[in-house]
Amino acid sequence: MPLPKTLIIVESPAKARTIKKFVGRDYAVEASMGHVRDLPKSQLGVDIDDHFTPHYITIRGKGKLIERLRQQARQADRVLLATDPDREGEAISWHLCQLLDIPEDSPCRIVFHEITREAVRRALQEPRPIDGNLVDAQQARRVLDRLVGYKLSPLLWRKVRRGLSAGRVQSVAVRLIVDREEEIEAFTPQEYWTLDAELERQAGGEVFTARYHGDAEGKRELPSREAVDRLLADLEGRAFVVLGVERKERRRNPAPPFTTSTLQQEASRKLGFSVRRTMRIAQELYEGIELRGEGAVGLVTYIRTDSTRIADQALDEAAAYIAERFGPEFSSPRKQAGRRQAQAQDAHEAIRPTSVAREPDAIKDDLTPDQYKLYRLIWERFVASQMAPAVLDTVTVEIGAGPHRFRATGSTVKFPGFMRLYVEGRDEGAEGDGDEGDRMLPELAEGDVLRVRALRPEQHFTQPPPRYTEAMLVRALEEKGIGRPSTYAPIIETIQERGYVVKEDRRFRPTELGRVVTALLKEYFPDIVDVEFTARMEADLDRIEEGERDWEDVVRAFYGPFSETLSRAEQQIQRVALPVEETDEVCEKCGRRMVIKHGRYGRFLACPGFPECRNTKPLVEKTGARCPRCGGELVQRRSRKGRVFYGCSNYPDCDFTTWDRPTAETCPECGTFLAEKRSRQGVRLVCANPECGYQREAAGETAGAGAGAGRR
């Protein structure tokens, strides 16, 4: 049997299997299994005195794989490196060149942004040399991160506690969460009132609501009950008259196709996926899925991209599909869909389906449930981005009652456009389009005298800014230019593993450790946790990639001041004593109150009498609710994947569990505990007994609670 003439090397076996379907017998396709070389874990690995030269070593366990690739490379006529089309992929190819004795200036590199037959075959016709600028940019990032991590982390070990870490990007992420918590704690709620008038044009007619706006001179606030009472007294006996009706046509444009960060955000909002889960599933869709009748094929384009650009061929395909499926009036192709394109890394397209003809429901049976959900999200977002704007008819009615003014607003959908298929989600507290929903107003005309059915005052309080969800944190990091979307998943995972933040109800809260470390870094290493400084570093890495800056100069400019600050901090920082968190749990061995300690696997309870008493036990958070099966107390636990659930404290004798947070309240109808059910509409208390069905709105909870600092 003749040997293959060309060896193609990719990162993963899944990608290799897909590409094998597209090439002939003259090609062999092998996987490097990710990175093959890296800096050593046991030492700095960067020669600071010799131009910051990194010392790479073969990753442990890769020796046999590399030897096999060497043998295959020697037997092949040529080797093509087909790793991912980004900095990291370019660096992997560069390392393979070093290990396989391939000249970097030879045409050994091929790239494609989707794993389809046509894209792979086209790439095979256009090999190029290794891009040194991409390699330098990745090397600069790796060296900078190593210098910060391996120089700063040991300082934290000596001054705070062993096992801690600091990072050029992770420390900024923790600071954002700490700063937000401090905003919440410093927030002073401000009282304000609204006054709604329930009106009708004639007795028995359609009732609609208008809200007090102010007077003829403009908007007026209602800061107190006294102000409301004065207003109500002045409204007594006044006629409510329509002063004007304004009708407008408003166009609403679709969201652009996904970039990496917007995919992470939307999957968090709509699917409840973590960033890591989203990227894992997206990688599977990109590398290839076995479809009946087609074989292995990549379903989406490359998933690490800052660009919203769409290839002409994909635009044409989408336009034809939309015209046929929805009608020609729904098609409105957009090559660039309104993101900060000048700042985007435009080498890639946006994330889109490789063929819009592969409708999600048509291939649902070939996908896992998670793959189907994410593919459908990507498919719908892309198709909607190429659809016509929605057209809304909006109506604003100005109503006078003496000198006072009320306003009523409503809208109807005149033409659904892209909303026929998809509407972008929003974070809690985010500014939106000001949707009036589909509320209709009755036909009103200037001069109409209205009948007052009721005047309804309501007290409100301004809310502090909400804690970050994963989606909100990703959005903040992207907007501030911190890190790259491909790094967000490991950052979010690391800051939780190190105990700097915890996730409660899908929102991040800093721990005392996170506060202490952030305060220390802000005092002694302000640049490390400075948002603008970190963003400038990211911009410098982009300039290295573009060939505008030398990577060594960038590293040297950072390391000089950093090294001086490190030496000064080593002398000035005293040992930080973390506050002891005492609990009400009594040690059954010696009677002392147990304290919370931090270990390799998270927080636990320990006796403060160590080493005389070595008693420890798991830390459980009590809910105040009783198990409906055995009467034991329900406590908070975590699954192997870190998800919070609630179970009986008598486990394993009782295995009752629930995902919904139990409360100390009991159902007035059957006596079972009430659990919190959260949605965008607010929080409801629902009976945990599935046969009961009792539920009600939680006291003090309203839709959108926690939105916007001071926003009314």
Identify which of 177, 183, 254, 207 has the alpha carbon closest to the alpha carbon of residue 529: 177
| Residue 297 near residue 18 (C-beta atoms within 8 A) | yes
Between CA 322 and CA 361, with CA 22 as vertex, the angle to 5 degrees is 35
Q: Could you list the beta-strand ranges (E) of 233-301.
A: 240-252, 289-291, 295-297
| Residue 179 near residue 529 (C-beta atoms within 8 A) | no
Distances from the Cα of 633 to the Cα of 623, 629, 654, angstroms? 8, 11, 11
27-31/6-10 β-pairing: parallel
| Residue 375 near residue 327 (C-beta atoms within 8 A) | no
State both tokens at 674. 């009430």
State both tokens at 417. 């456009």
Ramachandran region, residue 558 (left: φ > 0; alpha: ψ -120 to 50; beta: rest)? alpha
HSE-up of 537 (CA within 13 Å, CB side)? 27
| Residue 585 near residue 593 (C-beta atoms within 8 A) | yes
Spatial separation of the C-alpha atoms in residues 245 and 443, rounded to whole Å: 10
Handedness of CA 110, 112, 115, 116 (dihedral sign): negative
Residues annotated as catalytic are: 302
Torsion of CA 235, 239, 244, 250, to 10 degrees: 60
DSSP assignment letter at 271: I
Q: With H, G, I as helix, E, B as strand and everything else as coil, classify residue 368.
A: coil
662-666/240-252 β-pairing: unpaired
- 3-state SS, 83-133, equals CCCCHHHHHHHHHHHHHHCCCCCCCCECCCCCCCHHHHHHHHCCCECCCHH
